[in-house]
Chains A and B, each alone.
Chain A
């Protein structure tokens, strides 16, 4: 059956398929990157040059063709105060990441390792909440936060992350913890370690990739959550990056260059964090193996 030429043929076939896949991927990847590049290009041009026809693919203006217009980044509009908005965004996202990750780890540990009555019921409640549209709970939560006097502060955006950090994250961590052999915690238990010790000394060190994944996921969700930020934050000095950008877009006056520069600035923090951790990030999700 398997002649040598047949095997070679198969190998060649395989090689051809890989090359084809590679070409298609490069083409699509270029299309994926193009919009991002385009925003960057436009942010370095004069407002009048951005929409000239045919478009220029390099950021060169008609007035001074050789120079990149970095001055767009000293943004003129009073509506977009980048540094203040940036700090505000961090003031929301950092506590969310810390609280959300910590509580998600503790819940995932209990679901993955410990036996207790009502485990199945609680777990299905938890998984079920993934399907529950958050939009339905917005009005009652808004009323509750108003009653507590927390509107126009960051508390309504931060406090929910004290409560498990989201069902999907708990699920992801639980899956990951279940891939760690139980022998380790059994051994530790025999040596007299308590549950907290097992959690801190055995579980947490071995699920580091998954922890990075969920911290990033929480960071992205809180950083980008325009709707809730719009509902709860009213005063301009508390605006976050996305709120600032949306407001800027809402009343910009043909200052296209400034608009694009503001957009690039809004992209950058997430981009930097992603580039630093992206290796762990995708590996982490892939490793959890998303079974079931």
Chain B
């Protein structure tokens, strides 16, 4: 008996060693690419590091600690206008998360029915997601033109006023949200995956009990889907908060500063102007903001996520 036990622990040791070998890339990645840089970013935010000298000579000048100067500066400097940037980013992110989650859930429910051409339709709805975001933005820029843009042609024909879309500060964020919704095929696919796991037995039992489609949807599908809804909201939130491609490729943060997203501001201050300290300060605040929003989502989730029994 004792011999067997010893042998087993030897096997366990072997398994453990194998596991660590398999995990070397993840270890390296998590430490070198993710968590150490995260800590470094926080530290750099308190220094006056700049790119210029460093990029040319690859010699790091001894960083000077400037305390909270960078933070005070970004919040008070009107050319950086950080508060505006925070507002714009949060506005876009909340708007985009809610719209795309609603839209993709709706489409996924329709796609989950037994309808002809389901595979092709699924492929079509996923398609915008795989197109390069920069090319997508440039295309939409032309579609949304005030002069001769296709969307305005439709608006006029339906009896609406023409809109400036991306070239007016009131409409730029809603227009970008519309494009984000158009591109959210990945959420649709994840919802579809979830819908396949809604236990058929529940639905059939409810049907036998005479529950109509809406009732079944409300009392079975939605509760079973709440974990997926939460996952999609969370992922969509993290992605939307970091929105940058529209500003990089088309709007340049404008018109005015109406699409000056935080990531774009960080890119602008940190890389264009070479002020790594202030750039890091921006990303530090961004990190805290993202963490707060995610925490709020997590906290509310306890009250609306339905957990099945026997989950691991």
**Which A residues are closer than 8 A to B by beta carbons?**
17-18, 21-22, 24-26, 28-29, 32-36, 38-39, 42, 50-55, 103, 106-107, 109-111, 114-117, 119, 122, 125-126, 129-144, 146-147, 149, 151, 160, 162-164, 168, 170, 194-195, 216, 220, 223-224, 226-227, 230-231, 241-242, 245-246, 249, 256, 259-260, 263, 266-267, 270-271, 274, 278-279, 281-282, 285-292
Q: B36 to chain A: which residues have CB within 8 Å?
A: 140
Q: A292 to chain B: which residues have CB within 8 Å?
A: 227, 311-312
Tell me the smallest distance from the CB of A62 to a CB of chain B, in Å: 14
Nearest chain-B residue to A220 (Cβ)?
Answer: B130
B30 CB–A CB distance under 8 Å:
yes
B115 CB–A CB distance under 8 Å:
yes
Q: B147 to chain A: which residues have CB within 8 Å?
A: 51
Decide yes or no: A246 and B34 within 8 Å by CB, A107-B25, A133-B238, A136-B286 being known contacts. Answer: no
Q: How far is the CA of A266 from the CA of B244 in the complex (A)?
A: 19
Q: B197 to chain A: which residues have CB within 8 Å?
A: 289-291
Q: B33 to chain A: which residues have CB within 8 Å?
A: 137, 141, 160, 163
Q: How far is the CA of A139 from the CA of B312 in the complex (A)?
A: 38
Please tell me which stretch of B71-79, B80-88, B132-140, B164-172 contacts chain A, meaning at least 4 of its Cβ atoms lie within 8 angstroms of it: B132-140
* Other-chain residue from B29, B38, B110, B250 in contact with A163 (beta carbon distance below 8 A): B29
Q: How far is the CA of A230 from the CA of B307 in the complex (A)?
A: 43
Contact A137 B242 (CB under 8 A): no
Decide yes or no: A110 and B270 within 8 Å by CB, A29-B121, A131-B238, A271-B130 being known contacts. Answer: no
Q: How far is the CA of A119 from the CA of B15 in the complex (A)?
A: 12
* Other-chain residue from A134, A140, A164 in contact with B30 (beta carbon distance below 8 A): A164
Tell me the smallest distance from the CB of A221 to a CB of chain B, in Å: 10
B90 CB–A CB distance under 8 Å:
no
Q: How far is the CA of A234 from the CA of B147 in the complex (A)?
A: 34
* Other-chain residue from A22, A55, A109, A135 in contact with B244 (beta carbon distance below 8 A): A135
- Interface of A, helix, strand, loop or mixed by DSSP: helix
Which positions 245-299 of chain B face chain A at CB distance < 8 Å?
Answer: 245, 248-250, 262-263, 266-267, 270-271, 276, 279-280, 283-284, 286-287, 290, 294
Q: A288 to chain B: which residues have CB within 8 Å?
A: 193
Contact A39 B107 (CB under 8 A): no
Contact B284 A136 (CB under 8 A): yes
Nearest chain-B residue to A178 (Cβ)?
Answer: B312
Contact A227 B38 (CB under 8 A): no
Decide yes or no: A162 and B25 within 8 Å by CB, A32-B125, A35-B140, A53-B148 being known contacts. Answer: yes
Q: A291 to chain B: which residues have CB within 8 Å?
A: 197
Q: How far is the CA of A170 from the CA of B55 in the complex (A)?
A: 34
| 6 nearest A-B residue pairs (beta carbon) | A163-B29, A51-B148, A140-B40, A103-B25, A137-B37, A110-B22
Contact A115 B110 (CB under 8 A): no
**Which B residues are closer than 8 A to A by beta carbons?**
12, 15-16, 18-20, 22-23, 25-30, 32-38, 40-41, 44, 49, 51, 54-55, 58, 60, 107, 110-111, 113-117, 119, 121-135, 138-140, 142-143, 145, 147-150, 153, 182, 189-190, 192-194, 196-197, 213, 227-228, 231, 234-235, 238, 241-242, 244-245, 248-250, 262-263, 266-267, 270-271, 276, 279-280, 283-284, 286-287, 290, 294, 311-312
Contact B139 A35 (CB under 8 A): yes
Nearest chain-A residue to B33 (Cβ)?
Answer: A160
* Other-chain residue from B26, B145, B287 in contact with A170 (beta carbon distance below 8 A): B26
Tell me the smallest distance from the CB of B233 to a CB of chain A, in Å: 12
Decide yes or no: A132 and B26 within 8 Å by CB, A147-B58, A279-B119 being known contacts. Answer: no
Nearest chain-A residue to B266 (Cβ)?
Answer: A135
Contact B249 A249 (CB under 8 A): yes
Task: Sample 8 A-B pairs with CB under 8 A, ordered by A number.
Answer: A18-B114, A39-B142, A103-B26, A125-B35, A138-B266, A144-B37, A245-B138, A290-B228
Q: A33 to chain B: which residues have CB within 8 Å?
A: 124, 127
Q: How far is the CA of A241 from the CA of B38 in the complex (A)?
A: 30
Q: B267 to chain A: which residues have CB within 8 Å?
A: 138, 227, 230-231
Q: A125-B30, A291-B197 are in contact. List 19 more A-B contacts (CB 8 A).
A: A18-B113, A22-B115, A103-B29, A107-B22, A116-B15, A116-B19, A125-B35, A130-B235, A139-B41, A149-B58, A163-B30, A163-B33, A226-B133, A227-B263, A242-B134, A246-B138, A270-B130, A271-B131, A287-B193
Query: In the complex, which of the residues B127, B241, B242 has the most CB atoms of chain A within 10 Å of its own CB atom?
Result: B127
* Other-chain residue from B28, B117, B148 in contact with A55 (beta carbon distance below 8 A): B148
Query: In the complex, which of the residues B19, B134, B234, B271 has the most CB atoms of chain A within 10 Å of its own CB atom?
Result: B134
Q: How far is the CA of A256 from the CA of B124 in the complex (A)?
A: 27
Contact B153 A55 (CB under 8 A): yes
Contact A133 B25 (CB under 8 A): no
Contact A133 B135 (CB under 8 A): no
Q: B241 to chain A: which residues have CB within 8 Å?
A: 133
Q: A271 to chain B: which residues have CB within 8 Å?
A: 127, 130-131
Decide yes or no: A132 and B127 within 8 Å by CB, A55-B153, A107-B23, A227-B248 being known contacts. Answer: no
Tell me the smallest distance from the CB of B173 to a CB of chain A, in Å: 19
Decide yes or no: A32 and B127 within 8 Å by CB, A38-B150, A116-B15, A245-B135 being known contacts. Answer: yes
Q: B25 to chain A: which residues have CB within 8 Å?
A: 103, 106-107, 162-164
Contact B132 A270 (CB under 8 A): yes
Nearest chain-B residue to A28 (Cβ)?
Answer: B107
Q: A146 to chain B: which residues have CB within 8 Å?
A: 51, 54-55, 58
